[in-house]
Amino acid sequence: MRIKFFFFILVLFLLGLGGMLVYLLSGKPSLYLYVLEGLIGFILIYLIVFYNKIVKPMNTIGSGMELLREQDFSSRLSRVGQYEADRIVNIFNRMMEQLKNERLRMREQNHFLDLLIQASPMGVIILTMDDEVSQLNPMAVKMLGVRMEEAMAKRLDQMDSPLAAELSSIPKDETAVVRLNDANIYKCTHSSFIDRGFKHPFFLIERMTEEVMRAEKRAYEKVIRMIAHEVNNTTAGITSTLDTVEQALSTEDDMEDICDVMRVCTERCFSMSRFITRFADVVKIPEPTLAPVQLNELVSMCKRFMEGMCNDRNIELRLECDPEVGMVRMDASLFEQVLVNIIKNAAESIEGDAGENGQQGEIIVRTTAPASVEVVDNGPGISKETEAKLFSPFFSTKPNGQGIGLVFIREVLSRHGCTFSLRTYNDGLTRFRILFN
């Protein structure tokens, strides 16, 4: 019960007591009545003082508690003129000032942290305790390749995203380097923070693609130049010697077989020189000269150029062009080589699988507005283990492959600023997707 209630009970009790005394002393001399009246007046004055010194300060402190409960840290209590109560009021006002400043500081820090997360070049994904996505910044949306509404309130393993699938397999408090089928490389950290006494997991995703590609390029450029230099110098000397020996032996009798062997060796040297030159060409890719190009026309030209090769392999090559696709800024000659390489790889994968499943090979080259190209094939597909290595230098799944075709494609598309991926989907079709940014 509140102290004000007890105060009113005390007032009623004293008033009742005073009334009873007046009744009992009504027949007594007037002196008693004067004394009684003075006593009642003293009691009333005491009650007023008691109210101002005790009840009113307690009401003021109670109002402060209400302000504290409502988190109204901007209001202050006024002094009541009572020493003990004013001490409490001063302490309360200082506490409210500190709480106000602390809340303002926390809001400013939270606002700064939100701005930092939103503008961060690193992807940030915050999960609930049920491992469902509660927040992610724009860079994380871009890295995952999904829309914001598709990711919210979902588990990472429920998203149609290769990166999300890799993230879901990283144990807590560990860091892993993830290489995807779009040639991108990410450093992913799975950690947690404390909020209201509970641990909330989150992921930090750092793109390392450019740094790793530059390091790879420096490494294989040096190796290729050294090998090309040694091989070309050696083959030049060998072919010169073989030509001299062949000319000398050609005038002799019964030397035709030896001369044939000499010519085969010479041709083999030239073949080795051409082989290493192909590696050197990857290092010498020129910077693209960008100009507006009709994407549908360029794709149609590549389709006509590759039709003969596909027909020889009993593969149907189809073209599906979106009429809404217009001009795209690109280097036409470089991009044509990219598209030819992609179709050639698709045809070779289908040819290698034709004897096993016996189905009709099919390649579809499709353009989509505003500016994207997709090459779809029904070949054997790409395994998860192979996906992460596709765009690595010198990696190839072909028995006689050199592992430079996809490196060339990666270099050219990266210099065009394109987003691309090579992946086999759940429907069994393999798609090479190129999106012009």
Q: Which whole number is the average pLDDT over 300-304?
A: 89
237 vs 336 pLDDT, higher one: 336
Whether the pLDDT of residue 1 is over 60: the answer is: no
Residue with tokens 């991009």: 335
The residues with which 327 forms a beta bridge, in sequence order, are 294
Residues of the chain above pLDDT 90, percent: 9
CATH fold of 291-435 reads: Heat Shock Protein 90 (3.30.565)
Compute the half-sphere exposure of residue 295: CA atoms within 13 Å on the CB side of its CA: 24
Confidence (pTM): 0.55
pLDDT band at 386 (very low <50, low <70, confident <90, very high): confident
Q: Directed axis angle between helix 295-312 and helix 332-357, to 10°?
A: 30
Identify the weakest region by mean pLDDT among 166-170, 249-253, 412-416. Answer: 249-253
195 vs 336 pLDDT, higher one: 336
Q: Which whole number is the average pLDDT over 310-320?
A: 88
pLDDT band at 190 (very low <50, low <70, confident <90, very high): very high
Give which of 421, 432, 435, 214 is closest to 330, Cα–Cα. Answer: 435
Angle CA 142–146–152, to nearest 5: 105
Q: How many angstroms separate the Cα of 291 from the Cα of each of 285, 328, 369, 420?
A: 18, 8, 19, 20
Residue count (the chain) = 437
Give which of 383, 386, 388, 309 is closest to 348, Cα–Cα. Answer: 309
Q: Which of the listed ranges 41-45, 188-192, 395-399 does the model predict with the highest average pLDDT?
A: 188-192
CA dist 185 and 213 (Å) reads 9
Which pair of tokens denotes residue 276? 């290493």
Give which of 363, 419, 359, 424 is closest to 397, Cα–Cα. Answer: 424
Give which of 40, 207, 56, 184 is closest to 124, Cα–Cα. Answer: 207
pLDDT digits (tens, 9 = 90+) for 65-116: 676 667 666 777 677 666 666 777 787 778 878 888 888 888 888 888 888 8
pLDDT digits (tens, 9 = 90+) for 114-166: 888 888 888 999 998 888 898 889 889 888 888 888 888 888 888 888 888 88
Domain ranges across the chain: 1-107, 120-208, 212-283, 291-435
Residue type, 176: A
pLDDT digits (tens, 9 = 90+) for 192-244: 888 777 888 999 998 877 766 677 666 666 666 666 666 766 777 777 777 77
86 vs 300 pLDDT, higher one: 300
Q: Which of the listed ranges 230-234, 252-256, 382-386 does the model predict with the highest average pLDDT?
A: 382-386
pLDDT of residue 355: 47
pLDDT of residue 62: 67
Cα 141 to chain centroid distance, Å, stands at 5
pLDDT of residue 189: 92
Residue type, 25: L
CATH 3.30.450.40 fits 120-208, yes or no: no
Whether the pLDDT of residue 375 is over 90: the answer is: yes
Residues of the chain above pLDDT 70, percent: 72
275 vs 138 pLDDT, higher one: 138
Whether the pLDDT of residue 258 is over 60: the answer is: yes
Dihedral pair phi/psi, residue 130, rounded to 5°: -95, 15
